[in-house]
Structure 1
Amino acid sequence: MGKKGDGMPIFNEEMYLYDKNQNSDLFHLHSFGRLYPDADYIISLKENSNTIIECVTDGVGYIEHNGTVTTVEKGDCYIIKQGSGYSYYSDEKNPYSKVWVTVYGSMVDRWLDFYGIDRQVYIKHLDITSYYSQIKQTALGRDMLDNEKKLMLLVHAIIFEMATAVPANRQSREDRPYIKTADNVVLDIKKYIEKQCNERLTNRDLSLKFGISQSTMNDLFIKKYGISTSQYHMQCKLSSAEYFLKSTDLTIDAISSLIGFCDRSHFRKAFMKAYGMSPNQYRKKLKSELSEK
């Protein structure tokens, strides 16, 4: 940690260390906070031991990695992966402020690999402050058995949105007007279902959120995508389940809970209908295929 010139950096920071992780090998929320640096703020790390997720809430800053300097500004979100060192610092005339979360664990590494986030510094124009608020509320709230699951899902949601967000035009940040057409609404509904994939979500929830009747919503969705909103939500859930079965050693009960099924039997029935075999049989089949290679 350093400063342009002598002495230590001067800034206001809200920082929390999280020490309630139950399975740190799989997923570990290390820390989170909000930072208001001054113009002299600079952080330099020779090696980064955690995956860092930050969102610029105001101003301008810079990230330097392997001799390349990248400008980040209000509305930019970036992931700095574990590994080699980097520096970041404020613009002297317009210092940035940001929220941040640091995590590590095999699940985080698998998400980054699965979604193709292979650059050391990965930047998208995306506002994740609502996720930060939910992480803070969950981490600092009452101790609940499902807190770690909620934190894991929130971090996964950020990584998923980062991976699927359209790259920002770095030459022009002027907001284009949003025109509410049937196609735009249906696309927004689709993206929202993907974002809430592992949560319980009803057509009534969607109808209220997007201000459209359930029947019209389903008619438009079926016309564009060939399946209903509830079918698409189930498809997303089961794709998530397939990923966990392939990439983790989580129990069937844990996966069922993680993707939002009320119990194991409902999960098993839905998986059987889609894949023609139980989750256990699917996992055994995968292991058998891997052993034959």
Structure 2
Amino acid sequence: MYQEHTHFEVAINPNPDLNEPAVLFSGEGRPEPSHGIGPSVHEYYLVHTVLDGKGIFECNGVSYPCKKGDTFFIFPGILFRYQADASDPWHYTWVAIQGVTVSSYLRKIGVTKERPVLHTTDVPTAHELFRRIRLSFRQSAYSEMENLEASGWMRLLLHHFGLANADSIRSPERDLPTMIDRQVEHAIRWISLQYPQQISIQHIASTLGYHRAHLSKAFRAKTGYSPKQYLMNVRLKKAQELLVGNLTIDQVSSSVGFNDALYFSKQFRKEFGMSPTDYRNVATRTQEKKNGQ
């Protein structure tokens, strides 16, 4: 196959982690006129971006003429064929990816078995990202680090394709969330991740570009709670989890964002009708009965 290219290079991942989307190999080539591959099937995803020239990609009985900026995706187990043009053969670069979540990544950028081709106008950026993937595999003593680096560049490549394909990803029958809806979702994630910190609702609102009252109104409309109430609920529910363990009450209080253990106990009793200590005793007895002790 190499002899059928005027230029051919490939880099292999020596240590792919298949528990995550992983790069298996990546390459770049300039096939001879009319050079073709297939009909064949692969056991991995294979992504080609056309850097110049043109050719034909076929899968599922559909033929896709491809030119500079087009990227075609070969899915595992799907019969495919592709061939360089006879007069203007393509120059392309590729990456093979494997992993149980790859299909969900591709759906997010608008690629499916029924829609396996997308287009980017920023070919130089895509080309550089493919090159960075190949350069990750330096045959060093740290193959695990090379795998991590290649996976990072691969995700940036998919991100690039997703941005280039953003308009077509939007489905007309699905309303896009409004800006305030997105900001409320952002605030929810912020609270859910940062609850151990001394969170200021005012700071969240100003960071997201909204007046506190406006964000609070939208937040309540979506969740049924004010941001402050939501934060309290998150902290107390997490405290429930931690109380079934070996931490002291003071340690639990501090771990969920309370500076004052007495104030924590007061809020916990108000919410659950018992003190943290009583809750721990009840939860422990329940767990012992469940375990047959």
TM-score (norm 1): 0.51
- Equivalent residue for 1:140? 138
CA distance in 1 between counterparts of 2:130 and 2:113 reads 23
- Equivalent residue for 1:226? 209
Matches within 5 A, 1:23-172: 23-120=17-114, 121-125=116-120, 126-127=122-123, 128-140=126-138, 142-144=140-142, 145-166=144-165
CA distance in 1 between counterparts of 2:209 and 2:146 reads 36
Q: Which amino acid aligns with 2:32?
A: D
Q: For the Cα contact (< 8 Å) 2:34–2:86, is it kept in 1?
A: yes
152 and 90 in structure 1: CA distance in 2 versus 1, 3 angstrom threshold = same
- Equivalent residue for 1:12? 6
Q: Which amino acid aligns with 2:160?
A: E
For structure 2, the residue ranges without an aligned partner over 5 or more in a row are 169-205, 211-230, 242-293
The percent identity for this pair of structures is 17
- Equivalent residue for 2:185? none
Secondary structure, counterpart of 2:15 in structure 1: coil
Deviation (angstroms), 1:61: 0.8
Q: For the Cα contact (< 8 Å) 1:52–1:79, is it kept in 2?
A: yes
Q: State how many pairs are aligned.
A: 175
Please say which structure displays the higher CA radius of gyration: 2
For structure 1, the residue ranges without an aligned partner over 5 or more in a row are 2-7, 170-221, 228-271, 282-293
Deviation (angstroms), 1:137: 1.3
Q: Which amino acid aligns with 2:104?
A: R
77 and 168 in structure 1: CA distance in 2 versus 1, 3 angstrom threshold = farther
CA distance in 1 between counterparts of 2:87 and 2:61 reads 23
- Equivalent residue for 1:267? none
CA distance in 1 between counterparts of 2:16 and 2:63 reads 38
Q: For the Cα contact (< 8 Å) 1:56–1:97, is it kept in 2?
A: yes
Deviation (angstroms), 1:17: 4.9
Secondary structure, counterpart of 2:83 in structure 1: strand
CA distance in 2 between counterparts of 1:9 and 1:62 reads 21
Deviation (angstroms), 1:45: 3.5
Deviation (angstroms), 1:114: 4.2
Runs of 4+, deviation exceeding 3 Å = 113-116, 141-145, 166-169, 275-278
The root-mean-square deviation of aligned C-alpha atoms, in Å, is 3.3
Q: For the Cα contact (< 8 Å) 1:9–1:40, is it kept in 2?
A: no
31 and 13 in structure 1: CA distance in 2 versus 1, 3 angstrom threshold = farther
Q: Which amino acid aligns with 1:54?
A: H
99 and 168 in structure 1: CA distance in 2 versus 1, 3 angstrom threshold = farther
CA distance in 2 between counterparts of 1:22 and 1:31 reads 9
CA distance in 1 between counterparts of 2:94 and 2:16 reads 22
TM-score (norm 2): 0.51
- Larger mean Cα displacement after TM superposition, 48-57 or 158-167: 158-167
